[in-house]
Amino acid sequence: MAGIVLLTCALLSFATTITGQGQQVFLEYMQGRIGVLEERITQWHDQSSRYSSELREFKNKVLTLLENIEKERESLRNEMENTNVRVDRLEREVDYMETQNPAPPCVEVDEKLTELQNKKKKKYEKLTEPTSHVIIGCPTAEIHGNEETDVAINPPTIRKSYCSDTISQVSAMKILKRFGSTSGLWTKDPVGNSEKVYIFDGVGNDTVFVFSRMKEFTLSSSSRKAAKIKLPFPWIGTGHVVYQGNLYYIRHEQDNEFQVIKFNLANKTVVDSAVLPIEEQVPVYGLSQFSYIDIVADEEGLWAIYATKENEKNICLAKIDPSNLGIEQMWDTPCPIENAESAFVVCGALYVVYNTKLPSRSRIQCVFDVSGTISSENVPIIYFPKRYGSHSSMKYNPKEKQIYAWDDGYQIIYKLTMKSKEDLD
Protein backbone atom coordinates (compact mmCIF):
# COMPACT_ATOMS: atom_id res chain seq x y z
CA MET A 1 0.00 0.00 0.00
CA ALA A 2 2.85 2.40 0.83
CA GLY A 3 4.36 1.67 -2.56
CA ILE A 4 1.08 2.56 -4.29
CA VAL A 5 0.92 5.86 -2.38
CA LEU A 6 4.49 6.74 -3.37
CA LEU A 7 3.76 5.81 -6.96
CA THR A 8 0.62 8.03 -6.95
CA CYS A 9 2.54 10.96 -5.53
CA ALA A 10 5.21 10.54 -8.19
CA LEU A 11 2.58 10.47 -10.93
CA LEU A 12 0.84 13.60 -9.56
CA SER A 13 4.21 15.35 -9.42
CA PHE A 14 4.73 14.34 -13.02
CA ALA A 15 1.22 15.57 -13.93
CA THR A 16 2.04 19.10 -12.69
CA THR A 17 4.60 19.40 -15.44
CA ILE A 18 1.91 18.81 -18.07
CA THR A 19 -0.31 21.74 -19.08
CA GLY A 20 -3.64 22.26 -20.73
CA GLN A 21 -5.77 19.43 -22.15
CA GLY A 22 -3.07 16.80 -21.70
CA GLN A 23 -3.11 17.32 -17.96
CA GLN A 24 -6.89 16.76 -17.83
CA VAL A 25 -6.64 13.50 -19.79
CA PHE A 26 -3.82 12.22 -17.58
CA LEU A 27 -5.79 12.92 -14.39
CA GLU A 28 -8.83 11.06 -15.72
CA TYR A 29 -6.65 8.12 -16.61
CA MET A 30 -5.12 8.08 -13.16
CA GLN A 31 -8.51 8.22 -11.46
CA GLY A 32 -9.66 5.21 -13.51
CA ARG A 33 -6.60 3.16 -12.59
CA ILE A 34 -6.88 4.09 -8.94
CA GLY A 35 -10.54 3.02 -9.01
CA VAL A 36 -9.57 -0.38 -10.39
CA LEU A 37 -6.92 -0.77 -7.67
CA GLU A 38 -9.40 0.12 -4.93
CA GLU A 39 -11.87 -2.45 -6.31
CA ARG A 40 -9.22 -5.21 -6.30
CA ILE A 41 -8.12 -4.26 -2.79
CA THR A 42 -11.76 -4.54 -1.64
CA GLN A 43 -12.08 -8.00 -3.23
CA TRP A 44 -8.83 -9.16 -1.61
CA HIS A 45 -10.02 -7.92 1.79
CA ASP A 46 -13.36 -9.77 1.39
CA GLN A 47 -11.64 -13.01 0.33
CA SER A 48 -9.12 -12.76 3.18
CA SER A 49 -11.95 -12.32 5.69
CA ARG A 50 -13.82 -15.31 4.25
CA TYR A 51 -10.70 -17.53 4.31
CA SER A 52 -9.99 -16.53 7.92
CA SER A 53 -13.56 -17.43 8.89
CA GLU A 54 -13.34 -20.81 7.14
CA LEU A 55 -9.99 -21.53 8.80
CA ARG A 56 -11.46 -20.79 12.24
CA GLU A 57 -14.41 -23.08 11.54
CA PHE A 58 -12.07 -25.88 10.36
CA LYS A 59 -9.90 -25.43 13.45
CA ASN A 60 -12.95 -25.69 15.72
CA LYS A 61 -14.10 -28.86 13.94
CA VAL A 62 -10.63 -30.45 14.27
CA LEU A 63 -10.47 -29.59 17.97
CA THR A 64 -13.89 -31.14 18.49
CA LEU A 65 -12.84 -34.31 16.66
CA LEU A 66 -9.62 -34.54 18.69
CA GLU A 67 -11.57 -34.18 21.93
CA ASN A 68 -13.95 -36.94 20.84
CA ILE A 69 -11.04 -39.20 19.84
CA GLU A 70 -9.32 -38.62 23.19
CA LYS A 71 -12.55 -39.50 25.01
CA GLU A 72 -12.94 -42.67 22.94
CA ARG A 73 -9.29 -43.62 23.53
CA GLU A 74 -9.70 -43.19 27.27
CA SER A 75 -12.87 -45.25 27.16
CA LEU A 76 -11.12 -48.03 25.21
CA ARG A 77 -8.18 -47.97 27.61
CA ASN A 78 -10.52 -48.38 30.57
CA GLU A 79 -12.30 -51.25 28.82
CA MET A 80 -8.95 -52.97 28.10
CA GLU A 81 -7.86 -52.61 31.72
CA ASN A 82 -11.15 -54.05 32.91
CA THR A 83 -10.81 -56.91 30.40
CA ASN A 84 -7.26 -57.69 31.58
CA VAL A 85 -8.43 -57.75 35.18
CA ARG A 86 -11.26 -60.10 34.28
CA VAL A 87 -8.95 -62.37 32.25
CA ASP A 88 -6.41 -62.55 35.10
CA ARG A 89 -9.19 -63.35 37.56
CA LEU A 90 -10.54 -66.03 35.23
CA GLU A 91 -7.08 -67.60 34.83
CA ARG A 92 -6.64 -67.75 38.60
CA GLU A 93 -10.04 -69.37 38.95
CA VAL A 94 -9.23 -71.88 36.21
CA ASP A 95 -5.88 -72.71 37.82
CA TYR A 96 -7.62 -73.18 41.16
CA MET A 97 -10.25 -75.44 39.60
CA GLU A 98 -7.59 -77.47 37.82
CA THR A 99 -5.72 -77.90 41.08
CA GLN A 100 -8.81 -78.84 43.05
CA ASN A 101 -10.37 -81.03 40.36
CA PRO A 102 -7.60 -82.52 38.22
CA ALA A 103 -8.52 -84.53 35.17
CA PRO A 104 -8.45 -88.27 35.92
CA PRO A 105 -5.23 -89.78 34.63
CA CYS A 106 -5.39 -92.62 32.16
CA VAL A 107 -3.18 -95.67 31.84
CA GLU A 108 -4.01 -98.24 29.19
CA VAL A 109 -2.97 -101.81 29.92
CA ASP A 110 -2.77 -104.38 27.18
CA GLU A 111 -5.37 -107.14 27.79
CA LYS A 112 -3.06 -109.80 26.38
CA LEU A 113 -0.38 -108.79 28.86
CA THR A 114 -2.77 -109.33 31.77
CA GLU A 115 -3.91 -112.68 30.39
CA LEU A 116 -0.37 -113.96 29.90
CA GLN A 117 0.63 -112.85 33.38
CA ASN A 118 -2.24 -114.88 34.83
CA LYS A 119 -1.19 -117.92 32.82
CA LYS A 120 2.38 -117.73 34.09
CA LYS A 121 1.41 -117.07 37.68
CA LYS A 122 1.89 -120.67 38.76
CA LYS A 123 5.20 -120.98 36.92
CA TYR A 124 6.69 -117.81 38.34
CA GLU A 125 6.28 -117.04 42.01
CA LYS A 126 6.50 -113.34 41.40
CA LEU A 127 6.43 -111.50 38.11
CA THR A 128 7.83 -108.00 38.20
CA GLU A 129 5.11 -105.44 37.56
CA PRO A 130 5.57 -102.97 34.64
CA THR A 131 7.11 -99.61 35.35
CA SER A 132 4.50 -97.13 36.53
CA HIS A 133 3.71 -94.24 34.26
CA VAL A 134 1.17 -91.48 34.07
CA ILE A 135 -0.31 -89.71 31.06
CA ILE A 136 -2.54 -86.83 32.02
CA GLY A 137 -5.20 -86.25 29.42
CA CYS A 138 -5.28 -89.91 28.24
CA PRO A 139 -2.96 -89.95 25.22
CA THR A 140 -2.50 -93.28 23.50
CA ALA A 141 0.03 -95.53 25.27
CA GLU A 142 1.51 -98.46 23.40
CA ILE A 143 2.89 -101.41 25.39
CA HIS A 144 5.42 -103.49 23.50
CA GLY A 145 5.94 -107.20 23.86
CA ASN A 146 3.14 -108.91 21.95
CA GLU A 147 4.84 -112.27 21.83
CA GLU A 148 4.44 -114.61 24.77
CA THR A 149 8.17 -115.13 25.20
CA ASP A 150 8.80 -111.39 25.30
CA VAL A 151 6.36 -110.87 28.15
CA ALA A 152 7.26 -113.94 30.19
CA ILE A 153 11.02 -113.95 29.88
CA ASN A 154 11.78 -110.22 29.55
CA PRO A 155 9.25 -108.30 31.64
CA PRO A 156 9.77 -104.52 32.02
CA THR A 157 12.53 -103.84 34.54
CA ILE A 158 12.33 -101.41 37.44
CA ARG A 159 15.34 -99.34 38.41
CA LYS A 160 15.95 -98.81 42.10
CA SER A 161 16.44 -95.20 43.17
CA TYR A 162 17.84 -93.67 46.34
CA CYS A 163 16.19 -90.33 45.54
CA SER A 164 12.56 -89.89 46.59
CA ASP A 165 11.74 -86.31 45.56
CA THR A 166 9.01 -85.41 43.14
CA ILE A 167 7.73 -82.04 41.94
CA SER A 168 4.89 -80.64 44.00
CA GLN A 169 4.52 -77.34 42.14
CA VAL A 170 6.34 -74.54 40.33
CA SER A 171 6.46 -72.01 43.15
CA ALA A 172 8.07 -69.01 41.41
CA MET A 173 9.27 -67.65 38.09
CA LYS A 174 12.00 -65.06 37.50
CA ILE A 175 12.77 -63.55 34.09
CA LEU A 176 16.42 -62.50 34.21
CA LYS A 177 16.97 -60.85 30.83
CA ARG A 178 16.84 -61.31 27.07
CA PHE A 179 20.08 -62.54 25.57
CA GLY A 180 20.84 -63.92 22.13
CA SER A 181 18.52 -65.56 19.63
CA THR A 182 15.06 -67.05 20.12
CA SER A 183 16.42 -70.57 20.72
CA GLY A 184 19.28 -71.70 22.93
CA LEU A 185 20.07 -72.94 26.41
CA TRP A 186 21.79 -71.78 29.57
CA THR A 187 22.89 -73.84 32.53
CA LYS A 188 25.20 -74.26 35.51
CA ASP A 189 27.21 -77.20 36.78
CA PRO A 190 25.11 -78.84 39.55
CA VAL A 191 28.17 -80.59 41.00
CA GLY A 192 30.74 -78.63 43.00
CA ASN A 193 30.84 -74.98 44.02
CA SER A 194 31.29 -73.32 40.63
CA GLU A 195 28.99 -70.34 40.00
CA LYS A 196 29.78 -70.08 36.30
CA VAL A 197 26.91 -69.63 33.86
CA TYR A 198 27.22 -71.28 30.44
CA ILE A 199 25.31 -69.86 27.47
CA PHE A 200 24.65 -71.76 24.22
CA ASP A 201 23.20 -69.18 21.83
CA GLY A 202 21.29 -70.73 18.93
CA VAL A 203 20.75 -74.32 17.82
CA GLY A 204 24.07 -74.73 16.01
CA ASN A 205 27.41 -73.12 16.87
CA ASP A 206 30.89 -73.86 18.19
CA THR A 207 31.35 -71.09 20.77
CA VAL A 208 30.10 -71.19 24.37
CA PHE A 209 29.79 -67.97 26.38
CA VAL A 210 30.85 -68.21 30.02
CA PHE A 211 30.04 -65.71 32.78
CA SER A 212 31.83 -66.04 36.11
CA ARG A 213 28.60 -65.73 38.13
CA MET A 214 24.91 -65.04 37.77
CA LYS A 215 25.15 -61.35 38.67
CA GLU A 216 27.70 -60.72 35.94
CA PHE A 217 25.43 -62.37 33.38
CA THR A 218 22.39 -60.41 34.57
CA LEU A 219 24.14 -57.03 34.46
CA SER A 220 26.07 -57.61 31.25
CA SER A 221 24.64 -55.85 28.21
CA SER A 222 26.37 -57.96 25.54
CA SER A 223 28.29 -61.15 24.92
CA ARG A 224 31.56 -59.22 24.57
CA LYS A 225 31.98 -59.20 28.37
CA ALA A 226 31.81 -63.00 28.54
CA ALA A 227 34.65 -65.47 28.28
CA LYS A 228 34.43 -67.70 25.21
CA ILE A 229 35.17 -71.40 24.81
CA LYS A 230 35.83 -72.57 21.27
CA LEU A 231 34.70 -76.18 20.88
CA PRO A 232 36.54 -78.61 18.60
CA PHE A 233 33.26 -79.56 16.90
CA PRO A 234 30.05 -77.53 16.50
CA TRP A 235 26.99 -78.52 18.48
CA ILE A 236 23.45 -79.14 17.22
CA GLY A 237 20.17 -78.62 19.07
CA THR A 238 19.75 -77.59 22.70
CA GLY A 239 20.37 -80.91 24.43
CA HIS A 240 23.69 -80.17 26.15
CA VAL A 241 24.62 -80.20 29.82
CA VAL A 242 27.52 -79.25 32.10
CA TYR A 243 28.21 -81.92 34.74
CA GLN A 244 31.20 -82.52 37.07
CA GLY A 245 33.38 -80.01 35.23
CA ASN A 246 32.71 -81.54 31.83
CA LEU A 247 30.52 -80.42 28.97
CA TYR A 248 28.44 -83.13 27.34
CA TYR A 249 27.17 -81.93 23.99
CA ILE A 250 25.67 -83.33 20.79
CA ARG A 251 27.55 -83.36 17.50
CA HIS A 252 25.87 -84.13 14.16
CA GLU A 253 27.91 -86.40 11.92
CA GLN A 254 27.16 -87.80 8.48
CA ASP A 255 24.26 -90.13 7.61
CA ASN A 256 22.03 -88.63 10.31
CA GLU A 257 24.33 -89.98 13.04
CA PHE A 258 24.72 -88.13 16.32
CA GLN A 259 27.72 -88.25 18.63
CA VAL A 260 27.98 -87.37 22.32
CA ILE A 261 31.16 -85.39 23.03
CA LYS A 262 32.62 -85.23 26.55
CA PHE A 263 34.67 -82.02 26.74
CA ASN A 264 36.72 -81.05 29.78
CA LEU A 265 36.14 -77.36 30.58
CA ALA A 266 39.32 -76.94 32.62
CA ASN A 267 41.94 -78.07 30.08
CA LYS A 268 39.75 -77.51 26.96
CA THR A 269 40.21 -81.03 25.57
CA VAL A 270 37.94 -83.82 24.40
CA VAL A 271 37.94 -86.54 27.06
CA ASP A 272 35.71 -89.05 25.32
CA SER A 273 33.09 -89.44 22.62
CA ALA A 274 30.50 -92.05 21.78
CA VAL A 275 27.73 -92.84 19.34
CA LEU A 276 24.73 -94.07 21.27
CA PRO A 277 23.31 -97.45 20.16
CA ILE A 278 20.30 -95.73 18.60
CA GLU A 279 19.25 -96.13 14.97
CA GLU A 280 17.15 -93.90 12.72
CA GLN A 281 16.69 -91.03 15.15
CA VAL A 282 13.95 -88.44 14.79
CA PRO A 283 13.44 -85.11 16.62
CA VAL A 284 12.61 -85.91 20.22
CA TYR A 285 10.17 -82.99 20.71
CA GLY A 286 7.35 -82.23 18.31
CA LEU A 287 7.59 -78.47 18.90
CA SER A 288 11.41 -78.34 18.92
CA GLN A 289 12.47 -80.03 15.70
CA PHE A 290 16.13 -79.05 16.13
CA SER A 291 16.85 -81.44 19.06
CA TYR A 292 17.50 -85.14 18.46
CA ILE A 293 19.18 -86.03 21.78
CA ASP A 294 18.67 -84.16 25.03
CA ILE A 295 21.33 -84.89 27.66
CA VAL A 296 20.04 -83.99 31.14
CA ALA A 297 21.25 -84.32 34.72
CA ASP A 298 19.42 -85.13 37.93
CA GLU A 299 20.27 -86.37 41.43
CA GLU A 300 21.32 -89.77 40.03
CA GLY A 301 23.54 -88.67 37.16
CA LEU A 302 23.13 -88.28 33.41
CA TRP A 303 20.24 -89.29 31.16
CA ALA A 304 19.59 -89.18 27.42
CA ILE A 305 16.15 -88.31 26.09
CA TYR A 306 15.67 -89.30 22.45
CA ALA A 307 13.27 -90.73 19.87
CA THR A 308 13.57 -93.22 17.01
CA LYS A 309 11.76 -93.85 13.76
CA GLU A 310 10.78 -97.31 15.01
CA ASN A 311 8.96 -95.76 17.96
CA GLU A 312 8.32 -92.33 16.44
CA LYS A 313 5.17 -91.61 18.46
CA ASN A 314 6.72 -91.78 21.94
CA ILE A 315 9.81 -90.48 23.72
CA CYS A 316 12.59 -92.84 24.85
CA LEU A 317 14.86 -92.59 27.89
CA ALA A 318 18.32 -93.97 28.64
CA LYS A 319 20.65 -93.89 31.67
CA ILE A 320 24.20 -92.81 30.77
CA ASP A 321 27.43 -93.58 32.61
CA PRO A 322 29.18 -90.16 32.76
CA SER A 323 32.62 -91.75 33.04
CA ASN A 324 32.61 -93.67 29.74
CA LEU A 325 29.34 -92.56 28.05
CA GLY A 326 28.05 -96.11 28.14
CA ILE A 327 24.31 -96.88 28.21
CA GLU A 328 23.27 -98.54 31.47
CA GLN A 329 19.59 -99.05 30.73
CA MET A 330 16.95 -97.95 28.19
CA TRP A 331 13.17 -97.44 28.35
CA ASP A 332 10.37 -96.88 25.87
CA THR A 333 8.16 -94.37 27.64
CA PRO A 334 4.47 -93.76 26.89
CA CYS A 335 5.00 -89.98 26.62
CA PRO A 336 3.95 -88.72 23.18
CA ILE A 337 6.32 -86.71 21.00
CA GLU A 338 3.48 -84.64 19.53
CA ASN A 339 3.21 -81.13 21.05
CA ALA A 340 6.16 -81.80 23.40
CA GLU A 341 8.51 -78.81 23.68
CA SER A 342 11.04 -79.98 26.29
CA ALA A 343 11.67 -82.44 29.13
CA PHE A 344 13.85 -83.02 32.18
CA VAL A 345 14.49 -85.72 34.77
CA VAL A 346 14.04 -85.37 38.54
CA CYS A 347 15.01 -88.27 40.81
CA GLY A 348 14.75 -90.80 38.01
CA ALA A 349 11.37 -89.56 36.78
CA LEU A 350 10.96 -88.08 33.31
CA TYR A 351 8.77 -84.95 33.17
CA VAL A 352 7.67 -83.99 29.64
CA VAL A 353 6.50 -80.41 29.06
CA TYR A 354 3.81 -79.81 26.44
CA ASN A 355 2.51 -76.72 24.67
CA THR A 356 0.56 -75.89 21.51
CA LYS A 357 1.69 -74.90 18.01
CA LEU A 358 0.45 -71.40 18.77
CA PRO A 359 2.44 -70.83 22.00
CA SER A 360 0.36 -70.94 25.16
CA ARG A 361 0.92 -71.94 28.80
CA SER A 362 3.39 -74.78 29.22
CA ARG A 363 2.37 -77.74 31.35
CA ILE A 364 3.74 -81.10 32.47
CA GLN A 365 1.39 -83.58 30.86
CA CYS A 366 3.33 -86.83 31.06
CA VAL A 367 5.44 -88.37 33.84
CA PHE A 368 7.41 -91.61 33.54
CA ASP A 369 9.04 -92.93 36.72
CA VAL A 370 11.72 -95.58 36.19
CA SER A 371 11.54 -96.66 39.84
CA GLY A 372 7.81 -97.41 39.66
CA THR A 373 7.07 -95.35 42.77
CA ILE A 374 4.77 -92.77 41.20
CA SER A 375 1.36 -94.21 40.40
CA SER A 376 -1.44 -92.98 38.18
CA GLU A 377 -3.51 -91.65 41.09
CA ASN A 378 -1.04 -89.39 42.84
CA VAL A 379 0.73 -87.26 40.21
CA PRO A 380 -0.39 -83.63 40.32
CA ILE A 381 -1.05 -81.54 37.25
CA ILE A 382 1.78 -79.01 37.05
CA TYR A 383 1.41 -75.73 35.16
CA PHE A 384 4.19 -73.25 34.62
CA PRO A 385 3.50 -69.60 35.54
CA LYS A 386 1.79 -67.34 33.03
CA ARG A 387 4.05 -66.82 30.03
CA TYR A 388 2.78 -67.19 26.50
CA GLY A 389 5.90 -68.47 24.78
CA SER A 390 7.66 -71.70 23.86
CA HIS A 391 10.65 -73.23 25.64
CA SER A 392 13.54 -74.28 23.43
CA SER A 393 15.28 -75.81 26.47
CA MET A 394 14.61 -76.53 30.15
CA LYS A 395 17.60 -77.62 32.23
CA TYR A 396 16.96 -78.93 35.77
CA ASN A 397 19.59 -78.18 38.41
CA PRO A 398 19.34 -80.86 41.14
CA LYS A 399 21.51 -78.85 43.52
CA GLU A 400 19.34 -75.73 43.45
CA LYS A 401 15.99 -77.43 42.67
CA GLN A 402 15.50 -74.96 39.83
CA ILE A 403 14.94 -75.08 36.09
CA TYR A 404 16.97 -72.88 33.76
CA ALA A 405 14.70 -72.23 30.78
CA TRP A 406 15.15 -70.45 27.45
CA ASP A 407 11.85 -68.98 26.25
CA ASP A 408 11.85 -67.01 22.97
CA GLY A 409 15.22 -65.44 23.80
CA TYR A 410 14.39 -64.78 27.48
CA GLN A 411 16.39 -66.54 30.21
CA ILE A 412 14.00 -67.70 32.95
CA ILE A 413 14.43 -69.48 36.28
CA TYR A 414 11.61 -71.66 37.60
CA LYS A 415 11.85 -72.51 41.29
CA LEU A 416 10.42 -75.92 42.19
CA THR A 417 8.77 -77.10 45.38
CA MET A 418 9.47 -80.76 46.14
CA LYS A 419 7.89 -83.44 48.27
CA SER A 420 8.58 -87.09 48.87
CA LYS A 421 7.12 -89.66 46.51
CA GLU A 422 5.93 -91.55 49.56
CA ASP A 423 3.83 -88.55 50.62
CA LEU A 424 1.80 -88.54 47.42
CA ASP A 425 -1.87 -89.12 48.13
Which residue among 70, 101, 132 closes a domain? Answer: 101
Which residue among 101, 117, 137 closes a domain? Answer: 101
Give the 3-state secondary structure percentages of the chain, helix then strand then coil, rounded to 5. 30, 35, 35
Residues 244 and 136 placed together within one structural domain of the fold: yes
Residue 184 Rama label (left phi>0; alpha psi -120 to 50; beta): left
Name beta bridge partners: 165: 420
Examine residue 137 and state whether it is found in any structural domain, yes or no.
yes
pLDDT tens, position by position, 73-128:
888 988 888 887 787 677 666 665 655 554 444 333 344 444 544 544 444 344 33
Residues 287 and 365 placed together within one structural domain of the fold: yes
pLDDT tens, position by position, 341-374:
999 999 999 999 999 888 888 999 899 999 888 8
Examine residue 402 and state whether it is found in any structural domain, yes or no.
yes
pLDDT at 332: 92
When divided into structural domains, the chain yields a total of: 2
pLDDT tens, position by position, 269-283:
999 999 988 888 999
pLDDT at 139: 39
**Range with the poorest average pLDDT among 53-67, 374-388, 408-422:** 374-388
Q: Residue 332's Cα: distance from chain center in Å?
A: 27
Examine residue 267 and state whether it is found in any structural domain, yes or no.
yes
Query: 108 or 263: which carries more pLDDT confidence?
Result: 263
Residues 200 and 83 placed together within one structural domain of the fold: no
How far is the C-alpha of 87 from the C-alpha of 79, rounded, in Å? Answer: 12
Give the residue numbers spanning the domain of 415.
109-423
Which residue among 101, 131, 163 closes a domain? Answer: 101
Residues 85 and 126 placed together within one structural domain of the fold: no
Examine residue 7 and state whether it is found in any structural domain, yes or no.
no
Residues 169 and 297 placed together within one structural domain of the fold: yes
For position 310, which CATH number holds? 2.40.128.630
Q: Give the confidence band of 331 by pLDDT, cuts at 50, 70, 90.
A: very high
Examine residue 214 and state whether it is found in any structural domain, yes or no.
yes
Q: Give the confidence band of 132 by pLDDT, cuts at 50, 70, 90.
A: very low
pLDDT at 78: 87
CB 257 within 8 A of CB 308: no
Q: Return contacts of 73-81, CB within 8 angstroms, 24+ apart.
A: none
Residues 247 and 283 placed together within one structural domain of the fold: yes
Residues 241 and 369 placed together within one structural domain of the fold: yes
Residues 60 and 143 placed together within one structural domain of the fold: no
Q: DSSP letters of 40-74?
A: HHHHHHHHHHHHHHHHHHHHHHHHHHHHHHHHHHH
How far is the C-alpha of 260 from the C-alpha of 277, rounded, in Å? Answer: 11
- Across the chain, mean pLDDT equals 81
Examine residue 20 and state whether it is found in any structural domain, yes or no.
no
Of the ranges 80-89, 145-154, 165-174, 213-222, the best mean pLDDT one = 165-174
Residues 299 and 184 placed together within one structural domain of the fold: yes
Examine residue 238 and state whether it is found in any structural domain, yes or no.
yes
Examine residue 235 and state whether it is found in any structural domain, yes or no.
yes
Residues 246 and 379 placed together within one structural domain of the fold: yes
Residues 95 and 125 placed together within one structural domain of the fold: no
Q: Give the confidence band of 160 by pLDDT, cuts at 50, 70, 90.
A: low
Of the ranges 75-89, 130-144, 373-387, 405-419, the best mean pLDDT one = 405-419
pLDDT at 77: 86
Q: What is the mean pLDDT of residues 278-296?
A: 92
Residues 197 and 181 placed together within one structural domain of the fold: yes
pLDDT tens, position by position, 29-48:
888 888 888 888 988 988 88
